[in-house]
Structure 1
Amino acid sequence: MRIGVLGSGGMADALGGRWVGAGHEVLIGGRSAMRSAELAARIGASAGTPADAVAFGEAVLVAVPAAVAADVLGHAPGQVVVDCTNSVVPGRFVLDEPRAAARLAARSGAHVVKAFNLCHVDVWRGPLVFEGRPLGVPLCGDSEDALAVVRELVRSIGCVPVDGGPLERAELLEATTAFAIGLWVGGADVRSLFPTVP
């Protein structure tokens, strides 16, 4: 699959590199041409502008700060867009912009799927199997066709897609992330909050 990546930071690196390793074609389109080229060379992708990434991708990963996501994506009617952003206020661990994914969809005209936002960037760089089970990736979206594309991206790196419901539930996924980050920073083992029912 052809994947356009908006951004050249940690998530662009970790997920873009995973997808290259899984045999996908990846184009990095960050706001800095130099950083995009450096990242692309490091992970075996190609580089261009954000507009190039949107035009290139059968799916587009938005891996820029949530506050600028809509501006960087621009108008992308009908495009499959994977939103891995979190609008978490540093230090307070609350959402700066509730319903950010829904607004991204409304402004761009894209079929937005919220995914890959629940785990820290370093999780995506390591083994994606925990206690003998592959990592589950919650997905929230309204387009079944877009969800099918993102499920394929999830499975291609050895993870399991988990149905999280329509896009309106994406803010719950972001809020869960914000809450979990706050607990994790405070030293709690977040996994202990979700035991398997016997």
Structure 2
Amino acid sequence: LEGELVHNYMHQLELKESRAFLLWPITVVHVINRRSPLYDFSAQDMMDYRFEIVVCLTGASKNMGTTTQSRTSYLSKEIMWGYRFKNVVHYSKKEEAYKIDEENLNTVEQVETPLCSASYMKDLEEDLKASTNILCTPNMSASPTDLSLPEDSSTLSRQGDSIPSSPSLNRTGTQRSFGWNFKRFRPEKYLKTLEKKE
């Protein structure tokens, strides 16, 4: 709209390796942790929110010493959740050298990725750790396959023996790659259900 005021918020994304020699293809990695502005973003948020990631590559020529800068950007709708670039560097035993598959430089492959945000996964992990004294097996260890709850308060449900070939959004929980459907578990709520039954 004419006269509309648009706020611009800028955040620096920390990179795993901020310096690199471009001898062969590299993948620039930003780890999503508590300091990351993407920490609270889920797959659904990536589709709903409007933002842009601007990438600047600055380098110097080995021969001339001149500085060059290249820039590009990615809109939120261009980000592919649950994909990574295919490995294009392979060792050839026949030639005894590393070879680069140039045809697949831009090829991506699907990887097992939760659809919820990193913060939600951390909360879930902390909830499960806090509830180990309630949901423990005889050997005092708990794993997603060992957990047992009353049927009406179950937070884990098996979705089938086969792993889904493509991720799907689920508003009631998070469909993990290994077939479990996680919902938020609160130990306090579980304790209340036990008290009611007694």
More helix by share: 1
Where on the TM-score scale, by shorter chain, does this alignment land: which range? under 0.3
Mark the structure with the bigger radius of gyration.
Answer: 2
Q: Which has the higher contact order (CA 8 A, sep 6+)?
A: 1
Could you tell me the TM-score, scaled by structure 1's length? Answer: 0.25
Could you tell me the TM-score, scaled by structure 2's length? Answer: 0.25
